[in-house]
Amino acid sequence: MPKTIIVSNRMSTSVSRSADGFVYTPSVGGLATGLSPLHESEDSIWIGWSGLPSDSMTDDERRTVAEHLRTEHKCVTVDITSDQLERFYYGFCNNVVWPLFHYFPTYPTYDPDLWAAYVDVNAAFFDRVRRHIEPGDVVWVHDYQLMLLPALIKEHEPDSRVGFFLHIPFPSYELFRLLPWRAEVLRGLLGADLVGFHTFDYVRHFLSSVRRLLGYDHDMAYIRYENRMVRADVFPMGIDYDRYASASSTPSVRRKIDEVHADRRVDKLILSVDRLDYTKGIPQRLRAFERYLEKYSPSAGSVALVIIVSPSRTAVVQYQELKREVDELVSRINGRFSTIAWTPVQYFYRTFSFEDLSALYAEADVLLVTALRDGMNLIAKEYVAAREGRTGVLVLSETAGVARELSEAIIVNPSSVEEIADGLQRAIVMPDDEQMRRNVRMQDRLKRYDIHYWANDFMTKLEATIEHQQSFLGKRLSGSVRRRFRDAYRSAQKRLLLLDYDGTLLDYMDRADEALPDADLRSLIRSLANDTRNDVVLVSSRGRDFMSEHLEDLPIGLIASHGASIRVDGSWEQIIPVDDQWKEHLAPIMQLYADRTPGSRFEEKELSLAWHYRGSDPDLAAVRVAELKDALISMIANHNLTVFDGNRVLEVKSSLVGKAQAAARWYAHDEYDFIMAVGDDPTDEELFAAAPESAWSVRVGLGPTNAHYFIESPAQLRTMLEELA
């Protein structure tokens, strides 16, 4: 029976040393909470690091820990040494990926040695996966520490089902491209069948980077990558809603609430909870509270900020300096505004338990979240859930991922001290009925899409993605289908081979005049054509002049200019009368767009006009395509012309001809007992649609098509044709 393999840097169970040996405790955090039902209720294992460097234990201790985790917790350990931990985790993950992905581009140190450690540890994780994976298993890989792992799994286990979820932001292309190993990271992620993110912005940035850096386009969030369809989608991680909503009714939390309430000396309590990190905007938050006190002059004792900062990376100088800045700001604010009976900022530098946090959620009138950049921010969701049936206001940074979901919060710019101060004032004076109305809307949303729904949604979408892939892969011209194809070809007495040129027999070139038939291709075509049972016809959007110059000496038929001209038995025929007067009206505007779009070019063909944008910035080209297409359509409204999208080309031609009409000259012959039609772009779809049902229609490249089959690339097509020749 297939099982689920969860892979993350840390497992669902953490290991620590004590005087009596080893202590095994459940890991805290949203990931462990969200995946625990999946891990416990199904046949699954969790692969990760135990939390102890492998070189800090003896061989016997390592075996003891590994055996206990395997038998008692269904966990499999990955050994990471102290040196690897320093270079992989503290080095590459925390000092390169973390700051870059959180929009701090001056912080990373791009050290090849750190990258080498990252590669090595990802390989170590794969080694553990490889030992346990079986056909049909689902592997769900988590977070930025393991971005190379999906490709390693897919490379060695191509039939595996692999999902990946990134728990931090994916940065814009302008930032991501700074990473020296950007292509390797993207290819690593594209090893997954489904790549999940918290927000649509992160999906958009990922797709943009894939398109710009690797050249793979996407359609409805599906990326045609090599011979697979990879899906990128949004899965905003939730919380265990019921746990936080009901916490205040439990005896332990109720006691804590009573203690907080008894110690409370102010009318309005503002709460701030964060780990010490430069991405959280803690200094900006304190300055904003200081500005609030200056600007709105609340009476002494009317309001206080409780700020909880959990220690983090205390050995790192950058974090030590941040801690010093926070300490100084708290001292300055309290020094300026405190009275004998009132301290405006109550500062705690420690981690609070679930019970302590729940009590503060229940007592706080306002939660202040001003992260400069945050993948999601579950604290905001926890607070909203804890306020069920109560008033309470969330003041939330617009750059936190959760802002897309909790739009009823007071949304502020985390870099604007003035805006945060004004947001606090709005929260303090907001009427109770408005607070309740906003909270109910957010709570309804969080109830529906909680942590359990999130995990189930991801797994359901992964299964749907696999089914979508298989619907395409079932058309792959390989294996038994390839053998049937060869048998049909060899047993046929009369064959028709309709072969598109650009993108089918040859890879696309940035410039059309570079895509010339090489000696091997000419030899292949000649070999096929010399078989008296074969009629070979090359089909192209190229003009008659190009076809004559480079292909006319071959004993084959030719279809040029999208079907406007054909060559049969060595003679050219014009399908329609030549009328190119329309060109003089459209050519200037297409040339203008070529001039305005770097990397694009205008081409005047014999019977058509083309604007090529293969070398242009993809995002700019997308805008220009829409603009130019609209302009051209309006200009040709009363003419027998059509505008169509090819493979990174926008072209105008007569609507009276097409490849299908030209191919009909050959399709009409009833002596063929084998017909093969091959193409790669939208202009070839009519060729496939018009072919007899018994024909072997083949698209080069993955994607929606009228063809019965597909093959991955021009190189693979040529290999297959060489087998026939």
In tens, the pLDDT along 420-432 reads: 999 999 999 999 9
Q: pLDDT tier at 512 (50, 70, 90 boundaries)? A: low
Task: Write down the pLDDT at residue 221.
Answer: 86
For residue 120, the surrounding DSSP H or E stretch is helix 112-132
Q: Which region among 233-242, 377-386, 571-580, 627-636 has the lowest average model confidence (pLDDT)?
A: 571-580
Report the alpha-carbon distance of residue 587 to residue 599 in Å, rounded: 18
How does strand 495-500 pair with strand 534-539? Answer: parallel
Q: pLDDT tier at 526 (50, 70, 90 boundaries)? A: very high
Q: In what order do the strands lie in the sheet with 649-654?
A: 601-604, 608-612, 649-654, 641-645
Decide if 609 contacts 651 (C-beta within 8 A).
yes
Task: Write down the pLDDT at residue 81.
Answer: 96
| Residue 511 DSSP one-character state | S
pLDDT over threshold 90, residue 638: no
Mean pLDDT (whole number) for 583-612: 91
Q: pLDDT tier at 515 (50, 70, 90 boundaries)? A: confident
Active site positions, annotated: 500
Domains of the chain plus CATH, in order, are: 4-234 (3.40.50.2000), 241-448 (3.40.50.2000), 479-576+657-724 (3.40.50.1000), 583-654 (3.30.70.1020)
Angle between helices 282-296 and 417-429 in degrees, nearest 10: 60
C-alpha closest to that of 647 among 611, 617, 623, 619: 611
Q: Give, in order, the Cα–Cα distances in Å from 222 to each of 138, 210, 219, 320, 420.
A: 20, 11, 5, 44, 39
Helices then strands, counting H and E runs in the chain, come out as 26, 29
Decide if 502 contacts 462 (C-beta within 8 A).
no
In tens, the pLDDT along 561-586 reads: 888 889 988 888 888 776 778 888 89
Mean pLDDT (whole number) for 469-487: 88
Q: Backbone dihedral region of 362: left (phi > 0), alpha (psi from -120 to 50 degrees) or beta?
A: alpha
Q: pTM for this structure?
A: 0.88
Task: Write down the pLDDT at residue 38.
Answer: 80
b/e code 509-540 from CB counts within 10 Å (16+ = b): eeebeebebeeebeebbeebbeeeebbbbbbb
pLDDT over threshold 70, residue 30: no
Single-letter code of the amino acid located at 58 = T
Decide if 185 contacts 179 (C-beta within 8 A).
yes
Highest mean pLDDT among 35-49, 86-100, 564-578, 665-679: 86-100
Mean pLDDT (whole number) for 73-90: 95
How does strand 641-645 pair with strand 649-654? Answer: antiparallel
